[in-house]
Structure 1
């Protein structure tokens, strides 16, 4: 297999020697070096992880091709505890209607199949240094670009069809802020530090989406525990936050947002 043939479907079937060869090919193509090659368990099988360092920044290899992203609400069933927590938020005036599933339908992208390229994506998001409209040129000067919304979801979930990248449930005794013990703190399957803190808010090429957090809106507002975790859901596009940051009221907010640079191959 060559790098040009690499796709997500075949990633898990590769042997370690092939992964190492591809990692070196990737590093050579972008003028970087291999910083880590590892393996773990994901989706019920062996999972490879490749990290590349270039220009002092670390990137994870994200195999693409035909992939499934979004969330299948019809196949999901909330736990009684999640329903009770959401009901408390509704009673306090923070819900978006009495039905949790209906609320999720407003903020999550639907399950679908898309085609994305194989890329390198930054392990850590970086703060915007320019307003969102100017960031593409800023990144292009470094040979980088912003991810598409589909690329972001694919990179975050790594094929998992669950609500969060780690599963369908979340701890309901705390919110994901300043907590180092929850599942959100683990690097994801590709090696990204992503969807880990509700105060994080990442922008993509899609001006109708904010990913990986809500800038602390739910935490500061006291919306409730489940609503505090939902911004970390892989398919959460957070349309109300996107409308705010890209609208006139958001002209002075961009410094509080970040993006996750993509290094094309």
Structure 2
């Protein structure tokens, strides 16, 4: 099997020895070193996690192929606690509509199937000091690029169709920022991703803002569910996406991050 035909479905069917062999071949292609290969339970089966170190960065192998992305709020069944929490947000007068599904439909990307290449993606997001429009050139100097919005979403959810990468619920009695085991655990690909609502990652899609909202919902007191929503895998947060680029692509005066991608030859 080559990287060209390595799909997420095939990756899940491999044994650990085969996954390790592909990891070594991938590392050799990019002049990197395999730091770890292990397996975790995910979606009722096994997913292998590969960590490759190169030029001081740690990357995870993200198999692609045709993958299903997005979230269908109409088929989601919120808990009574989630509905009650959102009702509180509505009654607080922030201007949210009365229908939770409609709100999710505005904030989350729709269900779709896309074709993605297998790539290496940074395990950690990286703060950027450049004006957002200048980020691609800064990464290109290191042979890297920004992820597409679809690549980010696939890397975060790893095939999970749930609201969050870990399931459909969030601990409404806990903050979505700071210390916390659930948010900070590596995901199925070994990424530290969607872990703090005070963060926020830019992708190459100017209409998307991922993995946080800069603390807007938490600071605004919008309610627990809406505070956690920016960590949802399919959340695109169009309002923060518009703000992050400022007027005419100027620096908005905020610090955001991106997650470098290494395209495989």
Question: Fold match, TM over 0.5?
Answer: yes
Tell me by how many angstroms 1:2 deviates.
Answer: 2.2
Provide closer, same or farther for how the CA distance between residues 138 and 254 of structure 1 changes in structure 2, counting only shifts above 3 A. Answer: farther
Is the counterpart of residue 56 in structure 1 residue 56 in structure 2?
yes
State how 1:87-126 maps to structure 2 within 5 Å. Answer: 87-126=87-126
How far did 1:17 drift? 1.4
What TM-score does the superposition give when structure 1 sets the normalisation length?
0.97
Equivalent positions of 1:1-265 (< 5 A) are: 1-181=1-181, 183-248=182-247, 251-253=250-252, 255-265=254-264
Check conservation: 1:132, 1:254, Cα contact below 8 A.
no
Shift in Å, 1:119: 0.1
Instruction: Report SS of the residue matched to 2:13.
Output: coil
Contact 2:176 2:196 (8 Å CA) reproduced: yes
- Please tell me the root mean square deviation across aligned C-alpha atoms, in Å: 1.3
Q: Deviations over 1:25-63 (max 9, x none)?
A: 110000100011001100001110001000010000000
Q: Distance in 2 between matches of 1:143 and 1:32?
A: 13
Q: Where does the alignment leave 5 or more consecutive residues of structure 1 unmatched?
A: none
Query: Number of residues paired by the alignment?
Result: 264
**Do 1:208 and 1:239's aligned partners in 2 also have CA atoms closer than 8 Å?**
yes
Residues 71 and 234 in structure 2, CA contact (< 8 A), matched pair in contact too = yes
TM-score by length of 2: 0.97
Contact 1:89 / 1:223 at 8 angstroms: preserved in 2? yes
Structure 1 counterpart SS, 2:188: coil
Report the Cα offset of residue 222 of structure 1. Answer: 1.0
Matched-pair contact (CA < 8 Å) for 1:127–1:255: no
8 A Cα contact 1:128 1:255, kept in partner: no
Q: Is the 8 A contact 1:128 1:258 kept in 2?
A: yes
- Is contact 1:37–1:49 with CA below 8 Å preserved after alignment? yes
SS of equivalent residue, structure 1 residue 170: coil
Distance 1:250 1:134 in 2: 9
In structure 2, list runs of 5 or more residues that go unmatched.
Answer: none
CA contact (8 A) 2:164 2:231 kept: yes
- Aligned-pair distance for 1:3? 2.3
Kindly provide the CA deviation profile for residues 229-251 of structure 1, in whole angstroms up to 9, marking residues without a partner as x: 00000000000111112232984
| Cα offset, 1:93, TM superposition | 1.7
User: Mean alpha-carbon deviation: is it higher for 244-253 or for 127-136?
Assistant: 244-253
Q: 1:191 to 1:179 in 2, by over 3 A?
A: same
Measure the CA separation in 2 of the matches of 1:30 and 1:254: 35
The whole-number CA distance in structure 1 between the counterparts of 2:241 and 2:178 is: 24
